[in-house]
Each structure stands twice: as C-alpha cells, then as structure tokens.
A and B are shown apart, each in its own frame.
Chain A
Amino acid sequence: MTAQPDTVRPATLRWGWMAAGLGLLIGAVLLGVVVGPAKMGAGQVLRELFGSLIFDSPSDLTATEQAILWELRLPRVVLGGLVGAMLAVAGGAYQGVFRNPLADPYLLGVAAGAGLGATIVIVSAGDGSTALLPLAAFVGGTVAVAAAYVIGRSIGGRSATTIILAGVAVAAFFTAMQTYLQQRNLDTVRQVYSWILGRLTTTGWREVLILLPYVIVSAAVLLFHRRLLDALSVGDAEADALGVPTGRVRAIVVIFATLGTAAAVAVSGLIAFVGLIVPHTVRLLVGSSYRSLLPLSMVFGATFLILADLAARTVASPAELPIGVITAFVGAPFFGLILRTSRRVIS
C-alpha cells in the first residue's frame, strides 16, 4: 500500500484475493474438463480448448472425444460454475440485507417453493417426462418468496425479522404440501429425492443458456449494491438515519437474489450449503465489506461447486453421487475448520 497509514481508504475489492480466486477457478475448470470416464490427456484437452478458441486450429482429439469435451464436460463445468457463483453471491447478499449469519439463499422459501413445483411436475408426469420441471421450480420458488415478503411486510412493515419469520412459515407450508404429494406418490419418490439433493445434468448447452441471463442480471444488480450493503451493516435504524433507503435496498436485493437463485435451483435442484459457507469463508478470509465479499463469493462459489461436481461424478464412478451430499459432506467440516482458525467472530 502506498497511501499514508492514517489516510482514509474506502473498502475496495481485494485484487490479490481475486487473482488467487481466478487462478483456482481456472484450475478447477481445467480439472473438470480433463477428468472423466473417457480418458483424454490434459495436453490434448488444452490444445483442443485453446486451439479452437484462440488459434482456430483443431487438435488431435477424435470426433467423439471432441463431442464429449464440448457437448458434455464443458457445459457441465460451466453450469456448475454459474450455479455455484449465483448461490454464493445470493447467500452473501441475503446475509447482508438480513444482517443474519444464518441467512442463505433459501431463507425465504425459494427451496420449499421450488421443491413443491418440481414435485408436482414429477408426480404428475408419470412417464418421467420432466421438461416443465425447471419452469415449475422457478415459479414455485419465486411465488414462495413473494408470499413471504408480502406477508412479512403486512405484519411488521420493513422489519427484517418479520420477513424472515414469514419466510419460515411459508417454507413450512410449502414443504408440508410437497411432503404430502411425495408420500402419496411413492413410485416417484426416488426421482423427487434426487432432485432435492441437487444434481447437475446437462443437455448440451441448454441449461447454461437458460441460467446465464439470470446470473448476469442478478449478480450485476447485487454487485451494484455493495456500498449500500456495507451501510446496512450498522443496522436498519442507523442506516435510516444516514439516509439509506433500507426498505428499498432490502426489497431490490431480495428480488434479484431470488430470481437468480430460483433460476439456479430450476436447473440444478436444491444444492445445499454453498450459499452459506462460501460467503462466510470469504468473510473470514478478507473481512466483511461487501465490496470484496460479493465478487469473491462468486469466484470461490463457482470453484467450489465445480470441484464438488467433479467429486460427485468420480468418487463412486460410474455411479454419480448427489452433489448436495458432497457440498455438505466436504463443506461442513471445512467450514468448521475455517471458523476454528479464524480470529474474528462473525458479526
């Protein structure tokens, strides 16, 4: 740092961490496309990727190998990255607007609503055709959050706590309906469960293209709120007195975090824990300013989910584990370790 030690500096993105995070992300992407049942050399894969992207010179991969790379592995890795980035940035933003360390993107009922939507499609399809599943999950998730928000506001005005409690009630209600449907249709319970535990399945680039616009818009809006989220960290009453429109900030952040999360959940199922542990890990590493926390959460969330998906499809190969099992199984102890070694309490 060149500035005087006693000169005011606004919090800014920690570029060193960002560079490290991008390095890890690139490593995770390469690992994700190289590792798989069909053996391809890392060098060949790199030549194929960079050759066709930059130099327009084809590599020595066979046509089948090229198809596996471009139509199976790469879309799946990119989807994992998008879902991980979206869940992590939404979780970080939720923790900010609700000033609650337990907040994650599913706090206001996205998961329960999406779960109900998905279950309805699965049990009513019967023949296993689930083309409508992403749309139903998206609609269910956004309806649940909208209900929680409207109910919370009608009870307690702009208070964050009443909105959270309304979210708990709405989630319980939707989960009750979902569980009832699930128990009435035991023949599809496996399918419902596999969706609830989360999985990244791709049909070429279709899912990526569905999700991408939501991630771009949501993440951009959330990142633009970085200073206001910092201001909210002193609490609603003080932020009000500083002229911050706290109610409007919370509403906008919830809307865009929900749109992005619902879109992610629609294509990936309910992947647990990413939106909780990634932002907290970043917070413990670089401090709690949202100017670093949100962008770094995206990069680390993408990396984490790409690696978790790699584990999900290789650990018990050729069987695939639900990715939500991996994120919780690996994420929880890792998070515990981070908490233990960190000096500062989450505030």
Chain B
Amino acid sequence: MSVEIRNVTAGYGGDPVLRDVSLAVAENEWVAILGPNGAGKSTLMKVIAGLLDPSAGTVTVEGGSPGDHGRRRMAQLVAYLPQDPFFPESMTGGEYVLLGRAPHLGYFAVEGPGDIAVANEVLSLLDAGHLANRPLGDISGGERQRVLLARALAQEPEVLLLDEPTTALDVGHQVAALDMIGSIRRERPLTIVAAMHDLSLAGQFTDRLILLAAGQVVATGTANEVLTAPLIKQHYNADVQIVQVPGGVAVVPLRPT
C-alpha cells in the first residue's frame, strides 16, 4: 500500500471532522475522494500529508507515519496541492517550480544545476516551458494550475495529493488539467489521491472512488458502484441522472420537480 489510514479521527479542536476513517490506496492508483461540502475531504488530505495530526488512529505513507518521516522527508514523498494556493505575483513560473525542490535542499543551500534541470524537465512534461520566465501575476488561471502541478512534480513525489485541483477552472481547462495529470502517470509511477467536487470528472478519470459524508466513509468502489442515484440523493440531497459514457460514468444534476 502507498497510503493507508486506520481508524483516524481528526479535527480542529471542536467536534472531530473525520470520525474513525479507514482507507488504503495502492501504489500507482488514482483515487478520488468525493463528498458534499463539509464532509471532511480537505481534512483527510491534510491528515495524509502530515499537516494535521489525527487525534486517534494511524497514518502510514510509503511505509512510515508522517512523524517517522519528518517534515522534509514527507515533502520528498508527498506533494500536497492545497485548494487555494497562493501565487506571489512577481515570482516567475520557473522560480515557483523551483520551490518544489525545497525538500531536496539543505537549510542554507540554494538551487543547483540538478534542481534547475528537474524544473525544466517537469515544465516541458507539462508543456509549460513558456511560463518559466513569466511573472505569476501575468498568467491565466489555467497556466497557474500548470505551474502549480509542475511545482508538485518537481518534488519528485511518490504520492500526489490534490485538494479540488480543478475547482477554479472552466470545463475545458478542467478536462485538460485532469488529462495532464493522467498523462503524467504514463511517464512515471505516481499514486494520486484527489479530493474532487465534479462527480462526472471523477467518474471518468480516476480508478476508484471513495465517498465521504459527515466525516465517515460511506461508499467505496468503481464509478458504477459509487455514483448511483440513491447514494447521491442520500448524501448530496440532489436528484441526478447517471449516464454511461465511454470510459466511465457521468452524473447529470436534475432540477427538482
């Protein structure tokens, strides 16, 4: 297993957000974490990244707990992309991607030729070489998503944690971003855990889906097993129509009658 969490309870001081959650993600698997607002998706991502200590239960990532690995080793193993990343306006795309080398650098070290080579490589992998010297304040949302992903890949992680990676993008850029993530997996082994809002995209791009509701796992399985009208009605309180599409399942919301 690449990621395994057992009986995890976690939160921010008050009532726990996650309650007794257990799940496992295999090497090179792409798992979508689904669930309505407040279900605990972001909290789960932070727990796996080692940024939030659970109050109970165990987290194992690549053979050790975040505490065993230490912060720097964790950042070599796991790249975490937050929901609402900050893009310093005058930083260039290349400088931003080089931030991903931080876990590989000593305290006082600065980036060397090897780090620059990695940054160039991931930018060209994502077809974003032209952003290397553009200030982040001058580029579009889709382009920012690209350099953000490049920064994560520059960490050379085993596991990629994405917290709603495509929420800010239009439909074209959403599909392009997920397609880009999928194509990375053909280039190098990578385990992906992605909290996702868009059920149709999750149903087509990912290997397995885990549905969270009120801090607990309520369903897990393939798109056909998890994306069903009764489950979505129960947990999202939405009427939907499930449509079979080539390569997966799409979920069409219906207006209440």
Contacts and interface: CB of A to CB of B under 8 A. Distances in A.
Interface of A: 5-11, 224-228, 230-231, 233-235, 237-245, 287-289, 291, 344-345, 347
Contacts of A238: 82, 85-86
B130 A242 contact: no
Given A8-B94, A8-B123, A241 B111 contact: no
B89 A347 contact: yes
Contact of B71 (A228, A243, A347): A243
B85 A6 contact: no
B82 A242 contact: no
Contacts of A9: 92, 94-95, 116, 132-133
B76 A243 contact: yes
A227 B105 contact: yes
B137 A231 contact: no
Interface stretch (B96-104, B205-213, B224-232): B96-104
Interface string B67-86: 00001111110011010011
8 contacts: A9-B95, A227-B110, A233-B86, A242-B99, A242-B155, A245-B107, A289-B90, A291-B110
A235 B86 contact: yes
B218 interface: no
B88 interface: yes
Interface in B168-219: none
A240 B88 contact: no
Contacts of B51: 237, 240-241
B5 interface: no
Given A289-B91, A344-B89, A347-B89, A241 B82 contact: yes
B108 to A, nearest CB: 5
Contact of B49 (A234, A241, A291): A241
List 10 tightest A-B contacts by C-beta distance, closest first: A243-B75, A8-B94, A243-B103, A243-B72, A6-B129, A8-B119, A241-B80, A242-B102, A287-B90, A10-B111
Given A11-B95, A242-B102, 17 more contacts: A7-B133, A8-B123, A9-B92, A9-B133, A230-B91, A230-B99, A234-B86, A242-B75, A242-B99, A243-B73, A243-B75, A243-B102, A245-B72, A245-B107, A288-B88, A344-B137, A347-B90
A288 B123 contact: no
A11 B91 CA distance: 9
Contacts of A347: 88-90
Contacts of A231: 99, 102
Nearest to A246: B71
A234 B85 contact: yes
Main secondary structure of the interface of A (DSSP, over half): loop
Nearest to B122: A8
Given A240-B71, A241-B51, A241-B80, A227 B109 contact: yes
A231 B108 CA distance: 12
A109 B224 CA distance: 61
A117 B167 CA distance: 54
* Range, interface on chain B: 35 or more
B75, B90, B108: most-surrounded residue (chain A CB, <10 A):
B90
A244 B86 CA distance: 16
Contacts of A239: 102
A24 to B, nearest CB: 23
A6 B123 CA distance: 10
Contacts of A6: 129-130, 132-133
B22 interface: no
Contacts of A235: 86
A241 B75 contact: yes
A325 B87 CA distance: 38
Contacts of A228: 107
A151 B110 CA distance: 33
B120 interface: yes
A8, A233, A239: most-surrounded residue (chain B CB, <10 A):
A8
Nearest to B79: A241
A285 to B, nearest CB: 11
Contact of A230 (B75, B82, B85, B95): B95
A240 B86 CA distance: 13
A237 B175 CA distance: 27
B164 to A, nearest CB: 15
Given A9-B132, A243-B74, A243-B103, A227 B90 contact: no
Nearest to A291: B110
A347 B115 CA distance: 26
A17 B89 CA distance: 21
A230 B98 CA distance: 11
Given A241-B51, A242-B75, A7 B95 contact: no
A8 B91 contact: no
Contacts of A11: 91-92, 95
Given A238-B82, A243-B76, A288-B90, A5 B102 contact: no
Given A6-B129, A242-B102, A344-B137, A234 B88 contact: yes
A224 B102 contact: no
B88 A242 contact: no
Given A241-B49, A242-B102, A7 B86 contact: no
Contacts of B97: 8
Interface string B12-54: 0000000000000000000000000000000000000101000
Contacts of A7: 94, 116, 120, 129, 132-133
A6 to B, nearest CB: 4
